[in-house]
Chains A and B, each alone.
Chain A
Amino acid sequence: MRSLRREPGVLLALLAVVVLVGAFIVYPQVRVILTPGDSYGEFFSGGTWRNSLLHSLEVMALSTASAVTLGFVYAYAMVYSDMRWKPFFRLIGILPLLSPPFVVAASYVILFGPRGLITYNVFGQTISIFGLGGIWGVQTIAFFPFAYQLIADVLSRSDARIEQAARNLGAGSWRVFRTVTLPLSRPGLGAAILTTAIYVLEDFGNPALIGGTFTVLPTQAYGLISGFGDLPGAAAVSTILLALALVLYFAKIRLDGPRSFVTVTGRASSMPRPPVAPAISWACFAACMLLAGIIALVYGSLVVSALTVAFPQNTALTFGNFEYITSGANGTALQNTLVYGLAAALLSSLLALVAGWLVERGRWTGRRALDLLLIMPAAIPGLFFGIGYALAFNEPWLDWLDRGVLIIISMIFWNIPVGYQAAVAGLRQIDRSLDEAATSLGASSLRGFRDVLVPMLGGSLRVGFVTTFVRAVTTLSVVIFLFTPSSTVATIRIFQLVGDLNWGRATAFTVADIGLAIVALGAVALLARGRIALGGARA
């Protein structure tokens, strides 16, 4: 990229990104932090946050380690191995992201609770899912898809020739993996660890439902708001979360170092990857099957309870629950969910790509700050993101603004970190000489980006699109302070039905929400002619 002064187009794009980030990420959070109140100091000196902080760190370490390991295995299996049923596993790998709060965690309790169908009825155990162990297990499954998607995207772009060369020089497959594959996946691995760790820190739904007395920072913040009406205290907790994210961010920068991870250069490479031993493919298949089994059990039980009167006590078949969700304003809620989700996903992934390019290829000062700000939303619990928007944009002069639009904007910026991370990781793999070739031939930087880089970044775009979409259609906490009767979404309806103890209808709504989301993703994939494949990289 040339100097900004010589490229007005780039300067304009940069200004636009900076203004958007300032208005929709920084300003609402500043409003939250500056909520008038005197409990800030009182809160910090009170020390009730110490326990929650320790718990949060404990959960973060455990869940991130297991989720990223699982994500790596899954990504390796999908990209490298010759295992069968890959389309099935692609779908399974995205299901845990489609987890409307309350319902899925409750499904774990039905299966693995003290009188769980699996733990008690099958194995006769009364072990409790509640507490640290439960959070760890559920979060591992809930967050491995983030790691899987980010790592698979990077792995699929790695250069087969380097591995082939190592093979020809006599290295065994384990050695190739250890000395070539693993090191070259570091941008993806780093992004995966950072993103997963931050999302684990921010997770509210799982600790709330199965954490029991094991309080983490987000559940403590929620307690402060709903029990004490203590917004400043809750904002203080939110500040601790942001500080932790900051620490993680700088740790990752240190870890990455100044190394080069370029695997895509100008020279053509059509060499196939070295074949993977059948035993490894089978091991991959077995591991993925095991995980798929658990996931299928959890989501299968949702389908069963949607089709029964009162699962698991009364398993008489009924279609009444599905009839209900097509009645009244319920259809509008499903429609809103899809429209908001698709709009947010499209805009968020495109913006993430542009922002990633500006930061990764740019040479202007202040890049680091923008980089950080674009990762920050991952560390903001949805509850605060929503409250921030309610505080910042609920002004009389903004009353003309449709709430649906505000909800879309909140989803764009709350979900931008994964797409952005994917874009940066992708760009770091592509040799600068490629886009520089375009610019030295006279193209503007913007044109080089559009015509050379964007076509190669389909994977990153896909990661951003899919992640934003699935998070947008399943979030409750962001919209709970923003929705209006006409901009109600599916998760709000599900929350209502759970509160009304209508488990059958709640699960039917969940199944419809997840089903429509999958259909929508499939349709987008078809429209993009396979460029945006369902659930991550293609082998």
Chain B
Amino acid sequence: MQDSQRGYDRRTFLKLAGATAAIAACGGATPAASAAPSAAAATSAAAATKAPVSGTLSVYSALNESTNNEFFKAFNAAYPNVKVNVLPLAAAGELQTRIRTEKASPKSDVFIGGSSEFHDPLGKEGLLEQYNSPNAKDIDAKFKDASGYWVGWYTGIFGFISNNDRLSKELGGKKPATWDDLLDPSWKGKLILPDPVKTGGGYIFIATQIFRFNRDEAKAMDYMKRLHANVAQYIPTSPGALTLIDQGQFVGCPNWAHDILTEKGKNNPVDLNVPADTGFEVGAISIIKGTKSLDAAKALVDWSLTKEAGDLNVKLSNRGSTRADVAPAPGSPKLSDVKLVNYDRQWATDNKDRILKLWQTTVGI
């Protein structure tokens, strides 16, 4: 046991070293990658024919369909002895409920993807395993749980999607530069919003407003109430809202920048812009308490935090990485480039129920 543990640690180190070396070789814009591990990595990569970690993992994944396949294939290439059974369900709330209802006999080992708001309560309810991955040291403290129940490995920025044709015809092509611009009466009936109760994105939108008004909840609710007058519909899923803008059923919608970019990339007549003072999500990964494949689960967490995994996820989903050395997707906003609100994730998570109920009474639905 101890041997395998040590071996695994060495392997992780080598993977990291290899990844850094690869970037150095490509001349990536990473801060000072030491050239020293390069040679060591090259020799050991050939030597590491047998992966020390093995087991079978049942993974509950809230990642996109297209991301899942490539992502776990790449993980398998790094850990050939770990068999991964992915249960894909791009609805983090449902996966959270599944984990709760399966408490008596957990059916999953790892919960990957979905905003940290979905992982955090599970940790507090004692359904997650604490784990401080050695690779988490590269991750900024604001992207991970202090108690080690979950760690953030990707980021998503909230942006704004607009239908090109209808925007230019009906609103003079004026994209909202700030969230306040959406209160303009010309947006009435042309705006949709992911339902704050049913989607993670919708809630992050409300929380963003609260932080934008320096936690003055009354002001934020006043904003949401005035916005409500312009909102034609609250859509039960974030991707569903994008489809409606693609079709031109409505003109604009606050939504995830990475998904908007993906839609634009498919030649849909839509565009992305990021209004000032926006919020963002931290996509998390956590280990389910009671897992029988703890080593393999830890290996998946470790691997998800590597630069290799970060780069791959950026390529597959247009999302950002919590690692500073992973470059964002072409055309996508960088966390450091957009004007973000001072988003207090822990506060937003802890006050979610209260704020949502406040919002429901404010707008009367």
Bound form: Cα–Cα A316–B242 in Å: 21
Q: Is the CB of A390 within 8 A of B197?
A: no
**Residues of B contacting A227 with CB < 8 Å?**
93, 196-198, 203, 356
**Residues of B contacting A501 with CB < 8 Å?**
239, 242-243, 259, 262-263, 266
**Residues of B contacting A48 with CB < 8 Å?**
360
A-B contact count (CB 8 A): 140
Knowing A213-B234, A225-B93, the reply to whether A395 touches B105 (Cβ < 8 A) is yes
**Closest residue on chain A to residue B263 by CB atoms:** A501
Q: Is the CB of B64 within 8 A of A500?
A: yes
Q: Is the CB of B85 within 8 A of A485?
A: yes
Partner of A212, one of B91, B105, B233, B352: B233
B268 at the interface (CB under 8 A from A): yes
Q: Is the CB of B356 within 8 A of A229?
A: no
Interface centre among A48, A230, A484, A499 (most CB of B within 10 A): A499
Q: Is the CB of B97 within 8 A of A499?
A: no
Q: Is the CB of B353 within 8 A of A502?
A: no
Interface centre among B89, B242, B263 (most CB of A within 10 A): B89
Bound form: Cα–Cα A235–B83 in Å: 37
Q: What 1/0 flags go to A214-229 for Cβ under 8 Å of B? A: 0100010011011111
B81 at the interface (CB under 8 A from A): no
Q: Is the CB of A128 within 8 A of B232?
A: yes
B338 at the interface (CB under 8 A from A): no
B111 at the interface (CB under 8 A from A): no
Partner of A391, one of B58, B88, B101, B250: B101
A480 at the interface (CB under 8 A from B): yes
Q: Is the CB of A500 within 8 A of B90?
A: yes
Interface centre among B107, B121, B196, B233 (most CB of A within 10 A): B233
A396 at the interface (CB under 8 A from B): yes
Q: Is the CB of B100 within 8 A of A231?
A: yes
Q: Is the CB of B65 within 8 A of A499?
A: yes
**Chain A: minimal CB distance from B262 (Å):** 7
A109 at the interface (CB under 8 A from B): yes
Q: Is the CB of B247 within 8 A of A115?
A: yes
Within B48-93, the residues touching A (CB, 8 Å) are 58, 64-66, 85-91, 93
Q: Is the CB of A481 within 8 A of B98?
A: yes
B237 at the interface (CB under 8 A from A): yes
The stretch of A250-258, A433-441, A490-498 in contact with B is A490-498
Q: Is the CB of A226 within 8 A of B247?
A: no
**Residues of B contacting A484 with CB < 8 Å?**
58, 85, 87, 107
**Chain B: minimal CB distance from A222 (Å):** 7
B140 at the interface (CB under 8 A from A): no
**Chain B: minimal CB distance from A392 (Å):** 10
**Residues of B contacting A498 with CB < 8 Å?**
237, 239-240
**Closest residue on chain A to residue B68 by CB atoms:** A496
**Chain B: minimal CB distance from A457 (Å):** 38
Knowing A223-B197, A226-B97, A387-B101, the reply to whether A502 touches B65 (Cβ < 8 A) is yes
**Residues of B contacting A208 with CB < 8 Å?**
236
Q: Is the CB of B198 within 8 A of A226?
A: yes
Knowing A313-B269, A499-B239, A501-B262, the reply to whether A394 touches B65 (Cβ < 8 A) is no
**Closest residue on chain A to residue B92 by CB atoms:** A226
Bound form: Cα–Cα A496–B195 in Å: 19
**Residues of B contacting A230 with CB < 8 Å?**
353
Bound form: Cα–Cα A226–B66 in Å: 23
A209 at the interface (CB under 8 A from B): yes
B328 at the interface (CB under 8 A from A): no
**Closest residue on chain B to residue A387 by CB atoms:** B101
Bound form: Cα–Cα A214–B322 in Å: 39
**Residues of B contacting A113 with CB < 8 Å?**
244, 247, 249
Q: Is the CB of B102 within 8 A of A223?
A: no
**Residues of B contacting A313 with CB < 8 Å?**
246-247, 268-269
**Chain B: minimal CB distance from A20 (Å):** 22
Bound form: Cα–Cα A213–B66 in Å: 31
**Closest residue on chain B to residue A503 by CB atoms:** B243
Interface centre among B101, B121, B248 (most CB of A within 10 A): B101
Knowing A128-B232, A213-B234, A498-B240, the reply to whether A226 touches B246 (Cβ < 8 A) is no
Q: Is the CB of B65 within 8 A of A496?
A: yes
A110 at the interface (CB under 8 A from B): yes
B96 at the interface (CB under 8 A from A): yes
Bound form: Cα–Cα A208–B240 in Å: 11
B365 at the interface (CB under 8 A from A): yes
B34 at the interface (CB under 8 A from A): no
**Residues of B contacting A496 with CB < 8 Å?**
65, 88-90
**Residues of A contacting B87 with CB < 8 Å?**
483-485
Bound form: Cα–Cα A53–B353 in Å: 22
Q: Is the CB of A222 within 8 A of B198?
A: yes
Knowing A212-B234, A215-B365, A399-B105, the reply to whether A492 touches B244 (Cβ < 8 A) is no
Q: Is the CB of B94 within 8 A of A394?
A: no
A8 at the interface (CB under 8 A from B): no
Q: Is the CB of B97 within 8 A of A387?
A: yes
**Residues of B contacting A391 with CB < 8 Å?**
101
Q: Is the CB of B233 within 8 A of A213?
A: yes
A452 at the interface (CB under 8 A from B): no
Q: Is the CB of B66 within 8 A of A500?
A: yes
Bound form: Cα–Cα A483–B91 in Å: 14
Interface centre among A110, A116, A212, A222 (most CB of B within 10 A): A212
Interface centre among A114, A215, A398 (most CB of B within 10 A): A114
Q: What 1/0 flags go to B102-129 for Cβ under 8 Å of A? A: 1011010000000000000100000000
Knowing A225-B93, A395-B105, the reply to whether A130 touches B236 (Cβ < 8 A) is no
A106 at the interface (CB under 8 A from B): yes
B43 at the interface (CB under 8 A from A): no
**Closest residue on chain B to residue A129 by CB atoms:** B249
**Residues of A contacting B247 with CB < 8 Å?**
109-110, 113, 115, 312-313
B267 at the interface (CB under 8 A from A): yes
**Chain A: minimal CB distance from B64 (Å):** 5
Q: Is the CB of B234 within 8 A of A390?
A: no
Knowing A313-B269, A485-B87, the reply to whether A394 touches B104 (Cβ < 8 A) is yes
**Chain A: minimal CB distance from B96 (Å):** 6
Partner of B91, one of A116, A219, A499, A502: A499
**Closest residue on chain B to residue A486 by CB atoms:** B85
Q: Is the CB of B97 within 8 A of A231?
A: yes
Knowing A109-B249, A399-B105, the reply to whether A226 touches B64 (Cβ < 8 A) is no
**Chain B: minimal CB distance from A508 (Å):** 14
**Residues of B contacting A314 with CB < 8 Å?**
267
Q: Is the CB of A114 within 8 A of B250?
A: yes
**Closest residue on chain A to residue B196 by CB atoms:** A227
Q: What 1/0 flags go to A301-314 for Cβ under 8 Å of B? A: 00000000010111
Q: A313-B268, A501-B262 are in contact. List 8 more A-B contacts (CB 8 A).
A: A106-B240, A110-B247, A212-B234, A314-B267, A481-B97, A483-B87, A495-B89, A495-B90
Please list the 4 inter-chain residue pairs (A to B) with the smallest Cβ-Cβ separation, ordered nearest first.
A226-B93, A499-B90, A227-B197, A500-B65
Sampled A-B contacts (22; CB under 8 Å): A110-B247, A115-B249, A116-B249, A209-B236, A219-B236, A223-B195, A223-B197, A226-B197, A227-B198, A227-B203, A228-B197, A310-B246, A390-B101, A480-B94, A483-B87, A484-B85, A485-B58, A485-B86, A496-B89, A498-B239, A499-B91, A499-B237
